[in-house]
């Protein structure tokens, strides 16, 4: 068989494996959260808080969708016209048009252009979250965190582009196979490395002081059969008033992380409840599940890009001749952006199902539905979550069940419904 036929077969196998794996590991059935209970929960929330949350999201919405539209249009203009290829060539020109300069510097330049197009919307969002009291960052702190984020993305992206185009040069007929394997390996590597190396760039972590809460959290993890190394407190208050906690890392690096804002805004019982939810993710291996799905998806995407290289009209639009040359970076970005937009609702659905299972785990582990409901009310109030978002927005973007959904799930659990 030809390499293209092999690639088509490999893509088919990966897609079938991805669907089969997702069908088995994703909890498609979610715990009951009757709509009647949701409406009762909504009525129980203070009206002024609901109105404030609704107003907050109404102010964010225009800028968020404008940023999405501008980013998409920018990626399409760069990728589906020769402009992107010219930018890559421009980046490589001072270095004698060397392919490494084109691949790394050209790729970063293309991404930077799109980021700069959406930067005003990010700044506008910052003004809104500061005005509503969610963010505590000054413009200086915001700019520093933004620069850190760009720097981390540049390092990871530059290495990925260098590896990808090295493979396309060394194996011009079979780069799809090596590239798919490399993309899958990169997803797995980042899942293990990012929590350990990247999180400290943005937050300072200190061990939680010895006391009843730390003892309770460690005991909760032990009772759940999820070994953790430590309980850490993140200095989230330097940038936000939002409350959160999570379990990070694998094996010997696993630890419970609690925002310092959580310790000041929530009761100890509520901290235990939200930690029980996060332990549910660890116990079910949700990060590993997401990593495997991401690895399969990344491998399939590389092969799909290779097969799209047979579409001469697409390459002519981009002003390039092959998917394997660095001047096609902008086209790759445009295709990935489109795929992310199309696949977003499916990703959101999967995330909501996984989060709902973690909610059920927290209820089973603590047996305290009242505190779970109080904790969800607290999260929604402090974080200014829309307690009952519009259906279309919920289906398109919501990665978690809504506040009233989670409160309704607690009430159903209290009645013995599973």
Nearest to 376 by CA among 394, 391, 355: 355
- Whether residue 266 contacts residue 243, with contact meaning beta carbons closer than 8 Å, is answered with yes
| Angle, in degrees to the nearest 10, between helices 329-366 and 212-224 | 100
Non-local CB neighbours of 316 within 8 Å, separated by 6+ positions: none
Beta strands 231-234 and 255-259 are: parallel
Q: Find the catalytic residue in 224, 260, 270, 278.
A: 278
> Which residues on adjacent β-strands are paired with residue 248?
255
Nearest to 174 by CA among 2, 3, 296, 326: 3
User: What does the alpha-carbon distance between residue 406 and residue 408 come to, in Å, rounded to a whole number?
Assistant: 5
Q: Find the catalytic residue in 37, 260, 265, 359.
A: 359
Q: Is 400 annotated as a binding residue?
A: no
Q: Is 98 annotated as a binding residue?
A: no
Phi-psi region of 34 (alpha: psi -120 to 50; beta: other; left: phi over 0): beta
Q: Is 359 a catalytic residue?
A: yes
- Whether residue 286 contacts residue 191, with contact meaning beta carbons closer than 8 Å, is answered with no
Q: Is 277 annotated as a binding residue?
A: yes
| Tokens standing for residue 358 | 């973690």
Q: Is 278 a catalytic residue?
A: yes
Q: Which residues are annotated as a binding site for Zn(2+)?
A: 277, 281, 355
User: What is the set of active-site residues?
Assistant: 278, 359
């Amino acid at each position: 068989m030809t390499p293209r036929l092999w690639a088509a077969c490999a893509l088919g196998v990966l897609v079938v494996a991805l669907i089969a794996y997702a069908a088995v590991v994703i909890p498609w059935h979610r715990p009951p959260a009757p709509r009647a209970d949701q409406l009762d929960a909504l009525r129980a929330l203070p009206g002024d808080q609901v109105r404030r949350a609704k107003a907050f999201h109404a102010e964010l919405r225009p800028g968020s969708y404008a940023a999405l539209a501008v980013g998409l249009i920018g990626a399409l203009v760069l990728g589906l016209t020769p402009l992107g290829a010219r930018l890559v060539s421009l980046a490589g020109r001072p270095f004698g048009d060397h392919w490494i300069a084109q691949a790394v510097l050209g790729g970063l330049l293309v991404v930077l252009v799109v980021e700069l197009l959406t930067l005003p919307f990010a700044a506008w969002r910052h003004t809104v979250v500061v005005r509503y009291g969610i963010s505590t960052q000054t413009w200086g702190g915001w700019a520093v965190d933004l620069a850190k984020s760009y720097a981390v993305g540049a390092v990871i992206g530059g290495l990925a582009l260098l590896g990808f185009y090295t493979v396309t040069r060394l194996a011009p007929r079979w780069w799809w196979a090596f590239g798919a394997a490399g993309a899958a390996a990169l997803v797995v590597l980042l899942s293990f490395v990012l929590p350990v190396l990247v999180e400290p760039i943005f937050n300072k972590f200190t061990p939680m002081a010895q006391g009843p809460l730390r003892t309770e959290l460690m005991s909760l993890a032990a009772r759940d059969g999820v070994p953790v190394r430590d309980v850490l407190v993140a200095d989230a208050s330097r940038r936000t008033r939002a409350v959160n906690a999570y379990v990070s890392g694998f094996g010997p690096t696993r630890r419970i992380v609690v925002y310092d804002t959580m310790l000041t805004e929530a009761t100890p019982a509520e901290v235990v409840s939200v930690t029980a939810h996060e332990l549910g993710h660890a116990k079910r291996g949700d990060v590993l599940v997401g990593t495997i799905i991401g690895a399969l998806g990344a491998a399939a995407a590389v092969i799909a890009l290779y097969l799209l290289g047979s579409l001469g009209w697409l390459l002519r639009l981009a002003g390039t001749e092959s998917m394997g040359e660095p001047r096609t970076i902008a086209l790759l970005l445009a295709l990935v952006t489109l795929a992310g937009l199309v696949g977003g609702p499916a990703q959101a659905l999967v995330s909501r199902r996984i989060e709902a299972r973690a909610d059920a785990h927290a209820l089973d582990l603590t047996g305290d539905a009242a505190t779970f409901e109080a904790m969800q009310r607290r999260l929604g109030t402090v974080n200014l979550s829309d307690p009952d978002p519009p259906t279309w927005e919920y289906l398109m973007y919501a990665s978690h069940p809504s506040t009233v959904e989670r409160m309704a799930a607690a009430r159903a659990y209290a009645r013995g419904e599973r």
